[in-house]
């Protein structure tokens, strides 16, 4: 009971004290004098600067947090999109697995007097082959790094064409193995093995090509170093209406082309490609493309040879897919260069494109013993061009254009092709997209100084004209059936060796 008594006593004392205070007259409360200065009015500009700095600091903190934690939710959502695709919700991680194949068949007739291939008796043979058979994995990690890994199981079809002795025995090789670092302060940087990005026709993917084979510009000038190893800078500007691409790479012949390795001092190449869209309307249904590229390369062993094949193929190797024209082997200490001009347009269902390329080699010699050059032949200059057009017969269909890369893009039909019975037993069908195409190409390997080849060979220097007529039926965006008719006119430097070749080819293309 002790604590309770103390509490009661305390309350009684407070009551008496309160009564006493109530009888004392209250003194008026006076605010004591102060020496504090009057509050300063903040400077509006300084206040705005402080707020901006705080906002920038918060924004940078958020960006740094995203850069280190983006994709922390690793749950992948998988969909079917040109193959198997899985990605995180924020798309910081993306994985695609797919591939492609081109199943070709071809039939030929030719004049008996033609000199083609590695020997005088070489003739084009009817045949079949898988022009391409590839598996591919690509994607993105941590927002800013893209990767590509692609293997070709029909590499023998893609090797350089001039000499039979360079054809490899194997048929598996690398097509693309690289990393691309995106959104760097100066643009994007690709490192590794990739297709050199020069020319509209060359840089456009084979998944998109409108003809079974590219024109003479590619086969004669670019194909020997189609796959390169090194650095590639690329970016686009002004809402993707201007693109810039440049490379510094190692080059070689079949060793680099098939397996990605090569060793020789000074064997480098470099160049630049610029494209623009002076006209771009209605989401690409109306456009005009202009482009120019310059490419300079060293020669392996200081040796070069230029050759070209028919833009229709069956089989593999130098006898199944023989050269129609060939300059033979010559030497130069200066390497070679290619200047390529591009033009293209889309006007609804109608499209058209053209390229003109000049290949130049200075100080050409007949022989090189590893120390000295001998047998001077002056300078060599060769040129090639093509003009092609296409028209879609199905309503609403058109060619597509990839703005960030400045190349043709995948054709997507307005309606897929199908023929099925519904639940009521009635047949339903879709038409797909149907395109007719025509291309005229020309190659001159006779105007340059070195024009003769060894008499033991079949193919010689000269000029070649190709007319290709075709029909493309796009069943969907990944599957198409192609039919090409090719008429080639050869004009050889050998008297009596000029004549004509006719060929018909079919292709079933599928990529996933």
Q: What confidence category does residue 308 fall into, taking pLDDT thresholds of 50, 70 and 90?
A: very high
Domain extent listing, the chain: 93-511
What per-residue confidence (pLDDT) applies to 262? 64
Half-sphere exposure of 121 (CA within 13 A, CB side): 0
The structure's pTM equals: 0.79
Encode 53-67: b = buried (16+ Cβ within 10 Å), e = exposed.
eeeeeeeeeeeeeee
| Choice between 250 and 44, residue whose per-residue pLDDT is larger | 250
426-447 pLDDT, tens digit per residue, is 888 899 999 999 999 999 998 8
Q: What confidence category does residue 473 fall into, taking pLDDT thresholds of 50, 70 and 90?
A: very high
Distance CA(119)–CA(164), nearest Å, equals 10
412-430 pLDDT, tens digit per residue, is 999 999 888 888 888 888 9
**Among candidates 244, 272, 250, which has minimal Cα distance to 187?**
244
Residue 67: which residues within 8 A CB-CB, separation 6 or more? 143
What per-residue confidence (pLDDT) applies to 28? 55
Distance CA(28)–CA(472), nearest Å, equals 104
Residue 58: which residues within 8 A CB-CB, separation 6 or more? none
Whether 34 shows a pLDDT value over 60: the answer reads: no
User: Mean per-residue pLDDT for 361-372?
Assistant: 92
373-392 pLDDT, tens digit per residue, is 999 988 999 999 999 999 99
Q: What confidence category does residue 8 fall into, taking pLDDT thresholds of 50, 70 and 90?
A: very low
73-91 pLDDT, tens digit per residue, is 667 676 666 667 888 888 8
Whether 19 shows a pLDDT value over 50: the answer reads: no
State in words which class domain 93-511 has. Answer: mainly beta
What per-residue confidence (pLDDT) applies to 21? 43
Burial class (CB in 10 A: 0-12, 13-18, 19+), 233: middle
Sign of CA dihedral 53, 56, 62, 63: negative
Percent of the chain's residues with pLDDT above 90: 58
User: Mean per-residue pLDDT for 217-235?
Assistant: 89
Q: What confidence category does residue 175 fall into, taking pLDDT thresholds of 50, 70 and 90?
A: confident
What per-residue confidence (pLDDT) applies to 245? 97
* DSSP calls for 97-140: EEEEEEEEEEEEEE-TT---SSSTT-----EEEEEEEEEEEEEE
* DSSP calls for 205-239: -TTT-SSSS--HIIIIIIGGG-EEEEEEEEEEETT
250-278 pLDDT, tens digit per residue, is 887 655 555 566 677 778 899 999 999 99
Q: In the predicted model, what is the mean pLDDT of the chain? A: 85
Q: Report the SS3 class of residue 45.
A: helix
Whether 31 shows a pLDDT value over 80: the answer reads: no
Q: Quick count: other Cβ atoms within 10 Å of Cβ 494?
A: 18
Distance CA(491)–CA(108), nearest Å, equals 18
Percent of the chain's residues with pLDDT above 70: 81
Burial class (CB in 10 A: 0-12, 13-18, 19+), 342: buried
User: Mean per-residue pLDDT for 479-490?
Assistant: 98
User: Cα separations (Å) of 210 from 408, 415, 469, 512?
Assistant: 10, 19, 11, 18
User: Cα separations (Å) of 88 from 67, 97, 143, 146, 251?
Assistant: 15, 15, 11, 15, 38
Most confident of 62-71, 92-101, 233-242: 233-242
User: Mean per-residue pLDDT for 35-55?
Assistant: 68
Task: Tally the residues of the chain.
Answer: 512
Distance CA(271)–CA(3), nearest Å, equals 98
438-472 pLDDT, tens digit per residue, is 999 999 998 877 776 776 789 999 999 999 999 99
Whether 35 shows a pLDDT value over 70: the answer reads: no
Q: What confidence category does residue 171 fall into, taking pLDDT thresholds of 50, 70 and 90?
A: low
Q: What confidence category does residue 300 fall into, taking pLDDT thresholds of 50, 70 and 90?
A: confident
Q: Of 23-37, 128-142, 335-349, which range is least confident?
A: 23-37
The residue ranges of DSSP E strands in 52-113, in sequence order, are 77-80, 84-87, 94-110
What per-residue confidence (pLDDT) applies to 58? 74
């Amino acid at each position: 009971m002790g604590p309770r008594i103390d509490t009661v006593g305390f309350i009684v004392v407070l009551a008496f004290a309160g009564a006493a205070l109530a009888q004392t007259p209250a003194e008026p409360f006076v605010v004591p004098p102060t020496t504090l200065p009057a509050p300063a009015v903040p400077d509006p500009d300084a206040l705005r600067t402080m707020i901006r700095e705080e906002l920038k600091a918060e924004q940078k903190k958020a960006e740094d947090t995203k850069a280190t934690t983006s994709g922390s939710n690793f749950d992948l959502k998988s969909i079917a999109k040109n193959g198997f695709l899985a990605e995180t919700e924020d798309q910081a991680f993306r994985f695609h697995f797919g591939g492609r194949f081109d199943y070709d068949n071809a039939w030929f007739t030719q004049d008996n007097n033609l000199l083609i291939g590695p020997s005088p008796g070489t003739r084009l043979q009817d045949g079949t082959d898988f022009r391409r058979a590839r598996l591919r994995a690509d994607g993105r990690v941590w927002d800013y790094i893209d990767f590509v890994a692609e293997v070709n199981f029909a590499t023998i079809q893609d090797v350089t064409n001039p000499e039979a002795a360079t054809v490899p025995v194997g048929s598996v090789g690398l097509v693309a193995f690289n990393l691309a670092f995106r959104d760097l302060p100066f643009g994007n940087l690709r490192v590794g093995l990739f297709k050199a990005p020069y020319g509209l026709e060359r840089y456009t993917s084979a998944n998109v090509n409108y003809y079974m084979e590219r024109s003479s510009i590619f086969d004669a000038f670019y194909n020997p170093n189609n796959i390169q190893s090194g650095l590639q800078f690329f970016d686009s500007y002004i809402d993707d209406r201007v693109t810039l691409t440049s490379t510094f790479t190692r080059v070689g012949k079949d060793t680099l082309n098939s397996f990605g390795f090569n060793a020789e001092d000074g064997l480098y190449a470099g160049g630049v490609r610029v494209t623009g869209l002076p006209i771009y309307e209605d989401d690409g249904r109306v456009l005009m493309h202009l482009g120019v590229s310059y490419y300079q390369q060293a020669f392996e062993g200081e040796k070069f040879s230029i050759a070209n094949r028919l833009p229709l193929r069956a089989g593999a190797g130098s006898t199944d897919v023989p050269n129609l024209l060939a300059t033979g082997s010559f030497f130069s200490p200066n390497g070679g260069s290619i200047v390529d001009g591009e033009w293209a347009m889309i006007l609804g269902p109608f499209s058209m494109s053209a390229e003109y390329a000049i290949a130049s080699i200075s100080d050409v010699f007949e022989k090189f013993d590893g120390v000295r050059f001998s047998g001077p032949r002056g300078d060599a200059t060769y040129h090639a061009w093509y003009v092609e057009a296409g028209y879609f017969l199905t309503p609403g269909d058109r060619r597509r254009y990839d703005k960030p890369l400045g190349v043709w893009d995948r054709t997507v039909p307005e309606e897929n092709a199908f023929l099925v019975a519904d639940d009521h037993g009635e047949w339903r069908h879709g038409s797909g997209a149907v395109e007719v195409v025509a291309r005229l190409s020309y190659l001159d390997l006779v105007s340059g100084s070195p024009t003769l080849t060894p008499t033991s060979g079949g193919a010689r220097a000269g000029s070649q004209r190709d007319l290709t007529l075709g029909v493309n039926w796009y069943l969907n965006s990944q599957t198409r059936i192609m039919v090409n008719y090719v008429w080639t006119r050869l004009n050889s430097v050998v008297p009596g060796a000029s004549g004509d070749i006719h060929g018909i080819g079919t292709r079933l293309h599928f990529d996933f």
